């Protein structure tokens, strides 16, 4: 695995570890039955999340501007495609369920989430996957030759590996996966205007040919569109190591091919998803190469600037290009905005920059200087962020009373469908607790919302009378099963308690607890100011009392917990509580 928070590639050793974890942590099918043994399941209502990051307060939008990142929180590895005036964007989702969030726009500024590409258990087999396994680096492409959309990805779960799904309409559901017969990760499709198709992807060098740690290659295959398969025997290495193998470049990955003015351009990430991350570009007269690197690589990176710079954005790379309004190109890519202690609790979000492609090679405009937080909208486009169903960014408030017939798409499960444990009632969201608690490498009865700011507060009202010390419900702040906070109501003998517990590397410590009257609904709240988190409660909706003092968000950051995801805020219930008062 790569250094601190860096995206790794599953070699044989990693695959074995995943398989072993799967065998040790098989999903207990009786978990749904636990709900039947619980007399009174918790009901959640009046959820509110408010982000107040300083950078947005200090940089208010002026007319004709919009914020980047477009998607704050854990929306990494963006890929984008276009059909006419419709743009579609997807992200990695790892073990989140449903998987691969998909967004639609007609102007590249205002985006609506239209669902998820992988929303069925027949498509997504992550029930025993680690939080950073599952779905990696999806690529979305529109094939004008057959008027079909494709999403190709690597699923490190269920024995699937590289796979493709397709649809005629991204808003109306996608096919079941077709498993593809090649190794490696980060596959991308390219549909040429002559009817031919190709897959490019990251892979290991030929056996015994790896020259150094992080040495990878980019391969290309011919793709049989009629039968959705790579053509056996057509694989070819088109990049070995990276731009200049004599410099030992690491982790060449995330490839995409574009065609412009009759030439073929291959764009890849290089340097690993961390401080040395970058985007590089190659060109060829043929889709299968040979590809020659540009002499001005990288074309996007934040690697060269002081670590203590103000308003830092870092890790920029893993990009995809699209031709926007008026023929202007734009690039979407992942990056992070760490907190004051350089913690990465919000994960990797989706950023955007305009791209200058007036010369031979595309160059991200201002992609080689410290990234700013605002961009100019394309001509004639009005920023409607947060209005009329468009996704918000900057500082905003999201509220949900759970009174709609369907859940907002921003609510997700981990490792299993939300529908297995929730009911939307007239009084709010009822969560029927599984036997698994939050430490399980299995579906848990937890509804998650991504942490999208370094400074935020999240509040929810819970009505719940636990029946025993095995029952607990409340809020969790979750980086993974071995790194999390639980703030919930439970029972000891004949008394009811609110308990705050910290789990680090799988070891749980009680930070604080208080006796509480559960005859009335209780408001639970988490407040974060950078690395400082506080957990509070109220029984009158006016005065909030802190439990456990101020605690560190360190365990919610990838530099401590590892992996590739951002922190999640969860509404949680379990019938197998192991926090012993």
Active site residues: 77, 253
The closest of 192, 199, 332, 334 to 273, measured between CA atoms, is 334
**Distance (Å, rounded) from C-alpha 497 to C-alpha 489?**
6
Q: Which two tokens stand for residue 578?
A: 């192991």
Query: Are 577 and 503 in contact, with CB atoms under 8 Å apart?
Result: no
The b-or-e profile of 134-173 (16+ CB within 10 A means b, else e) is bbbbbbbbbbeeeebbbbbbbbbbbebbbbbbbeeebeee
Q: How many C-beta atoms lie closer than 10 Å to residue 222's C-beta?
A: 18
Which helix H or strand E contains 250, and what residues bound it? none
Cβ within 8 Å of residue 333, ≥6 positions away: 78, 279, 300, 316, 317, 318, 319, 320, 350, 351, 352, 353, 364
d(CA 513, CA 500): 6
Structure token pair of residue 253: 């990955």
Q: Please classify residue 369 by burial: count the beta carbons closer than 10 Å to its beta carbon, then call 0-12 exposed, 13-18 middle and 19+ buried.
A: exposed
Structure-token match 């609506």, residue found? 112
Structure token digits, residue 542: 């006016």
If we measure between CA atoms, which residue out of 41, 43, 35, 38 comes closest to residue 403? 43
Residue positions counted in the chain: 581
Distant-in-sequence, close-in-space partners of 302: CB < 8 Å, separation ≥ 6: 277, 313, 314, 315, 316, 335, 370, 371
Straight-line distance from the first to the last Cα atom of the chain, in angstroms, rounded to the nearest whole number: 37
Q: Assign 219 to helix, strand or coil.
A: strand
Exposure string over 101-116, b if 16+ CB within 10 A, otherwise e: bbbbbebbbbbebebb
What is the distance between the alpha carbons of residues 348 and 314, in angstroms, rounded to a whole number? 10
What distances in angstroms separate CA 75 from CA 79, 90, 285, one per listed residue? 11, 8, 34
């Amino acid at each position: 695995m790569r250094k601190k928070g860096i995206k790794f590639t599953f070699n044989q050793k990693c695959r074995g570890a995943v398989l072993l974890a799967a065998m040790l942590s098989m999903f207990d099918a009786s978990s749904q039955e636990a709900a039947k043994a619980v007399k009174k399941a918790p009901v959640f209502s009046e959820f509110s999340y408010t982000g107040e990051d300083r950078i947005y307060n200090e940089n208010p939008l002026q007319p004709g501007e919009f914020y980047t990142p477009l998607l704050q929180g854990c929306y990494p590895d963006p890929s984008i495609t276009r059909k006419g005036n419709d743009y579609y964007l997807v992200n990695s989702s790892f073990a989140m369920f449903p998987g691969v969030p998909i967004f639609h726009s007609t102007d590249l500024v205002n985006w609506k989430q239209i669902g998820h590409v992988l929303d069925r258990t027949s498509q997504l087999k992550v029930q025993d996957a680690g939080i950073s396994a599952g779905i990696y680096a999806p690529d979305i492409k529109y094939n004008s030759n057959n008027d079909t959309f494709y999403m190709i990805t690597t699923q490190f779960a269920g024995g699937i590996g590289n796979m493709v799904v397709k649809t005629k309409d991204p808003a109306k559901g996608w096919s079941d996966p077709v498993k593809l017969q090649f190794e490696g990760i980060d596959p991308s499709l390219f549909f040429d205007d002559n009817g031919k198709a190709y897959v490019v992807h990251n892979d290991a060098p030929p056996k015994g040919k790896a020259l150094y740690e992080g040495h990878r290659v980019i391969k290309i295959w011919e793709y049989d569109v009629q039968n959705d398969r790579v053509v056996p025997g057509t694989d070819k290495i088109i990049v070995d190591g990276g731009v200049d193998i004599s410099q030992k470049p690491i982790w060449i990955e995330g490839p995409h091919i574009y065609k412009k003015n009759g030439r073929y351009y291959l764009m890849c990430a290089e340097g690993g998803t961390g401080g040395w991350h970058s985007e590089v570009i190659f060109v060829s007269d043929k889709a299968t190469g040979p590809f020659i690197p540009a002499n001005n690589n990288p074309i996007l990176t934040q690697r060269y600037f002081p670590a203590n710079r103000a308003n830092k954005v870092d890790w920029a790379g893993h990009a995809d290009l699209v031709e926007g309004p008026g023929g202007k190109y734009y690039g979407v890519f992942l990056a992070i905005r760490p907190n004051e202690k350089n913690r990465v609790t919000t994960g990797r979000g989706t950023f955007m920059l305009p791209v200058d492609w007036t010369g031979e090679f595309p160059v991200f405009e201002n992609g080689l200087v410290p990234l700013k937080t605002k961009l100019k909208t394309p001509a004639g486009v009005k920023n409607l962020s947060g209005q009329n169903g468009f996704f918000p960014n900057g500082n905003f408030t999201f509220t949900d009373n759970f009174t709609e017939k369907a859940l907002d798409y921003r609510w997700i499960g981990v490792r299993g469908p939300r529908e297995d444990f929730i009911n939307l009632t007239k009084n709010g969201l009822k969560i029927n607790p599984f036997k698994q608690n939050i430490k399980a490498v299995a579906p848990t009865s937890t509804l998650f919302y991504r942490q999208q700011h370094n400074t935020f507060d999240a509040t929810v009202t819970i009505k719940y009378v636990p029946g025993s010390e095995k029952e607990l419900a409340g809020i969790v702040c979750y980086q993974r099963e071995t790194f999390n906070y639980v703030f919930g109501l439970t029972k000891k003998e004949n008394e009811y308690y609110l308990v705050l517990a910290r789990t680090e590397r799988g070891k749980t410590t009680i930070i604080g607890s208080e006796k509480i009257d559960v005859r009335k609904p209780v408001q639970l709240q988490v407040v974060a100011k950078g690395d400082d988190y506080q957990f509070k409660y109220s029984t009158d909706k006016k005065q909030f009392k802190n439990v456990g003092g101020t605690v560190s968000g360190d365990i919610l950051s990838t530099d401590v917990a590892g992996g590739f995801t951002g922190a999640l805020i969860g509404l949680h219930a379990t019938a197998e509580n192991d926090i012993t008062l």
